[in-house]
Amino acid sequence: MSLMSRSHWTLTALVLAILVSMPLLLPDFWLSGILGRSLIYGIVALSITFLASYGGFISLAQTMLAGIAGYTVAILAPTAIPASQSAVSYWLAMPLAVLAATLAGAVVGLIAIRTRDIYLLMITLALAVGFSLFAQSNIDWFNGYEGIRNVVGPELFGQPFRAHTVFYYVSLTLAALLYLMVLYVVRTPFGLVLQGIRDNPRRVAALGFDVAVHRIAAFAMAGFIAGCGGVLITFYNIGITPGSIGMTATVNVLVMSVIGGLGHPVGAFIGAVIFTLIDTFAATIYDRDRFNTLIGLVFLGIVVASPDGVLGLGKRLAGRGKRKDAGDGGTPH
């Protein structure tokens, strides 16, 4: 079984080619302010969508996992302010950060192992908010409310990590690899068992699969994805604060996933782009100070009108169009 159908591959390659050529076309602001930002938050949203789409778990702990990676890299960063006693090279700090997020993801999976649906949502939200409150009150490791600043990332090809083109291409490469990894993993036996658990955990258990281990592994993998995003987000923001992983941040990433659509991993990135565009241009659409009201209304509108997000909306519209065209082929989805 192949990863995607041929038309899907063509579409993906086309989108990737367009994205790769973007630095030639777009000014720096669009490159890192809109596209780069969408990609890195989209990676965290991807970890939510992966769990939701193939495991049926809506986890609100993914921003916390990104935050754990972010804090790990910040604590170990050689340039960090306040300076840390445990500073190592960025090239060691980054894999350690992703490892920490992966392990933390497994722990979240372990804590929530006997819960499903709405209970899982509640527990993961409680964990996420609790972690941000902990980071806020802890001075020793997390430097409390201030957080850790000046985490700029390593130099790449003699350029600073945060140079617009460097940052953009790193984010794009990582996002594309993680996206393909998700599409690959769900075709492996592990991914198929995961989808079986989503549809009927009892039957999967009766077939002899260890449901608990598969769940924990899925959460660990989601933690890995979120951790990659978290490291990039920390470099993008030049540091990390408890506010950047709190309730608002958690909900924002959830909003991205839901707006895009939880039915397919690509929804995470579509939602991230829409969210970033609204976030950036809210001032011109509506009142700058009331950005949250606007994003809340958009989110509410999407959830009420189309629970499966823009992706589902597009699918339905395309389906309608296809019927009109009397089997003209139409765009694949």
Partner 1 sequence: MSLQFMITVTLNGLTLAALYFIVASGFSLIFGLMRTVNMAHGSLYMIGAYVGFAVFDSLYASNATAGYAWYAGLLAGVAAAAVAGVVMQVVFLGWMQGQELRQALVTIGLSIIIADQLLAHFGGNPFQFFAPDALFGPTPVPVIGRYSTFRLFQIGLALAVGVGLWLLLNKTRLGIMVRAGVDDRQMLAACGVNVPLIAVATFALGAGLAGLGGVIGATAQPVALGVDVKFLLTSLVVVIVGGMGSIGGTAIGAILIGVAEQWGQALFPTYSVILTFAIMVAVLAVRPQGLLGRTGR
Residues making contact with partner 1 (CB under 8 A):
58, 111-112, 114-115, 117-119, 121-123, 125-127, 129-130, 133-134, 137-140, 246-247, 251, 254, 258, 289-293, 295-297, 299-300, 303-304, 307
Q: Which is nearer to partner 1, 28 or 287 (CB)?
A: 287
Contact 67, 100 (CB under 8 A): no
Per-residue H/E/C for 202-214: HHHHHCCCCHHHH
**Coil, strand or helix at 156:** strand
C-alpha span between 280 and 291 (Å, rounded): 9
Provide, rounded to whole angstroms, the least separation between the CB of residue 213 and partner 1. 17
Residues recorded for the chain: 333
Q: Which is nearer to partner 1, 69 or 254 (CB)?
A: 254
Please state whether beta strands 155-156 and 159-160 pair in parallel, antiparallel, or not at all (unpaired).
antiparallel
Provide, rounded to whole angstroms, the least separation between the CB of residue 266 and partner 1. 20
Q: Which is nearer to partner 1, 101 or 295 (CB)?
A: 295
Provide, rounded to whole angstroms, the least separation between the CB of residue 156 and partner 1. 37
Q: Which is nearer to partner 1, 31 or 108 (CB)?
A: 108
Q: Which is nearer to partner 1, 290 or 323 (CB)?
A: 290
Provide, rounded to whole angstroms, the least separation between the CB of residue 41 and partner 1. 17
Q: Which is nearer to partner 1, 273 or 295 (CB)?
A: 295
User: Which letter, b or e, does each residue of 82-104 get, where b requires 16 or more Cβ atoms within 10 Å of its Cβ?
Assistant: eebeeeeebeebbebbbebbbbb
Comparing CA positions, the residue from 144, 40, 153 lying closest to residue 94 is 153
Provide, rounded to whole angstroms, the least separation between the CB of residue 233 and partner 1. 20
Provide, rounded to whole angstroms, the least separation between the CB of residue 236 and partner 1. 23
Contact 35, 21 (CB under 8 A): no
Contact 166, 154 (CB under 8 A): no
Helix (H) or strand (E) holding 314: helix 309-324
C-alpha span between 87 and 73 (Å, rounded): 9
Q: Which is nearer to partner 1, 164 or 264 (CB)?
A: 264
Provide, rounded to whole angstroms, the least separation between the CB of residue 225 and partner 1. 21
Provide, rounded to whole angstroms, the least separation between the CB of residue 83 and partner 1. 20
Residue type, 184: Y
- Residue 269 to residues 38, 94, 176, 234: CA-CA distances in angstroms? 7, 23, 10, 19
Q: Which is nearer to partner 1, 29 or 141 (CB)?
A: 141
Comparing CA positions, the residue from 293, 331, 328, 329 lying closest to residue 314 is 331
Tokens standing for residue 276? 């970033």
